[in-house]
Amino acid sequence: MFDTKVLKINDKSLQIAKDYVLSGEVVGFPTETVYGLAGFAFLDDAVKKIFIAKGRPQDNPLIVHLHRDYDVDKIVKVEHDYVYKLREAFVPGPITMVYKSRGVVSPVATCGLDTVGIRIPMHDGAQEFLKSVDVPIAAPSANASKHTSPVTAEHVYEDLKGKIPLILDGGKCQGGIESTVLDVTTETPIILRSGLVTAEMIKKVVGRCEYSKNLPTDKVRAPGMKYRHYSPKCQTALFGRDELDKAIEFYNQSLKSGLTPYYMCDGEIAKKLNGNVLNLGNTASEIASNLYDALHKGEKIADVLIAFEVKTGSDVDVGIMNRLSKACERR
């Protein structure tokens, strides 16, 4: 058990974080997407501690984070020239590229795969932390496995207090959903997880981009695609945009049963509803940025969260719906 400290990022806390990381402990840190749980990526035991703290399944590989001046090519092999264009356009930023590994990263982090996902975050605090430790950092989101991803230091504390010694506090994450994961080992880059760097944006730079066949997109109604992930600790219900009446009935039924329901929706739908509302905003970037915070708020104030499909017309909707449809139960 640790007496978990939450410290604002400054020279002193960065030195403490560095000492922990280099001695094989794991610490929380902010990025522009969500908070990460950082461990020295070359040390098997440090990486194991990440899986244990989160209760993460052993077969889900971790992303390796680097500061912007770190020589990525010491860790991975570039197999296709389009990678250089992608780096020019989107790195540092909310994109993880999966490369052929040179085998130096701990196999615990890569789950024994011959590939490794690399991300160079653009968040100032993340860069300061990564620069300070100056070693590759394996990091998943800093939440208990399956729970909603953390976008504030408090969220990390709620899930991991006692399990880690330190959380670096860099305020609220602005991006709000996890990085786009892009396989760059293939002739055509393949999106393994959708995020803020979208297929459209990648197509503009590379000329081509595909979604992985296994990626659930925005098909709320697709049966069998869902397993719980990103979930708040309250009852949830997800409705289509054309199911307002059904959602209102569900809300009223919940009230009658003595429960506290909240709608969680964008501004356009909020205008049509009466009662408790968590408004996610209007644009896709606002909605992405507010989604996890709303799920965290929701689980504290609501017994039932009633969510709606998001359709702003932006390509970012794919990433939002990927998270929302796993976090909330389709009705």
Closest distance to ligand AMP from the beta carbon of 182 (Å):
10
Q: How far is the CB of 327 from ligand AMP (least distance, A)?
A: 13
Q: What angle is formed at CA 15 by the lines to CA 26 and CA 150, rounded to 5 degrees?
A: 40
> What Rg value do the Cα atoms of the chain yield, rounded?
20
In angstroms, give the least distance from the CB of 79 to ligand AMP.
14
Residues 77-116 that bind ligand AMP (CB under 6 A): 98, 110, 113, 115-116
Q: Which does 117 bind (CB under 5 to 8 A by kind): ligand AMP, Mg ion, none?
A: ligand AMP
Query: In the numeric block, which tokens belong to residue 15?
Result: 């030195």
The residue at minimum Cβ distance from ligand AMP is 140
- Separation CA 172–CA 35 (nearest Å): 9
Binding track over 220-259 against ligand AMP, x by CB under 6 A: ----------------------------------------
Task: Produce one character per residue of 130-157: b if its CB has 16 or more CB atoms within 10 Å, e if not.
Answer: bebbeebbbbbbbbbebbbbbbbbebbb
Kindly tell me which residue out of 32, 178, 218, 299 binds ligand AMP, with binding defined by CB under 6 A: 178
72 binds ligand AMP (CB under 6 A): no
Q: Least distance from C-beta 54 to ligand AMP, angstroms?
A: 9
- The beta strands (E) that lie in 201-295 are given as 210-211, 235-239, 261-265, 277-279
Over the window 114 to 143, marking each residue x when it contacts ligand AMP by CB under 6 A and - when it does not, the resulting string is -xxx----------------------xx--
Burial class of 5 by CB neighbour count within 10 A (0 to 12, 13 to 18, 19+): middle
Of 17, 27, 46, 181, the one binding ligand AMP by CB under 6 A: 181
Task: Please count the other Cβ atoms lying within 10 Å of the Cβ belonging to residue 226.
Answer: 16
Stretch that binds ligand AMP, among 41-49, 57-65, 86-94, 169-177 (CB under 6 A): 57-65
- Asked if 173 and 179 touch (Cβ cutoff 8 Å), the reply is no
Size of the site for ligand AMP (CB under 6 A): 16
Among 193, 296, 323, 326, binds ligand AMP (CB under 6 A): 193
Give the nearest distance from C-beta 304 to ligand AMP in angstroms: 26
Helices 284-301 & 317-327 angle (0-180, nearest 10): 20
Spatial CB neighbours of 305, under 8 Å, sequence gap ≥ 6: 232, 234, 235, 236, 237, 261, 262, 264, 278, 295, 298, 299, 328
According to the binding rule CB under 6 A, does residue 212 interact with ligand AMP?
Answer: no
Q: Which of 83, 172, 87 is nearest to 125 (CA)?
A: 172
Q: Are 117 and 61 spatial neighbours (Cβ–Cβ below 8 Å)?
A: yes
CA atoms within 13 A on the CB side of 197: 31
98 binds, among ligand AMP, Mg ion, none (CB under 5 to 8 A by kind): ligand AMP
Which CB sits closer to Mg ion, 36 or 92?
36
Binding site for ligand AMP (CB under 6 A): 60-63, 98, 110, 113, 115-117, 140-141, 178, 181, 192-193
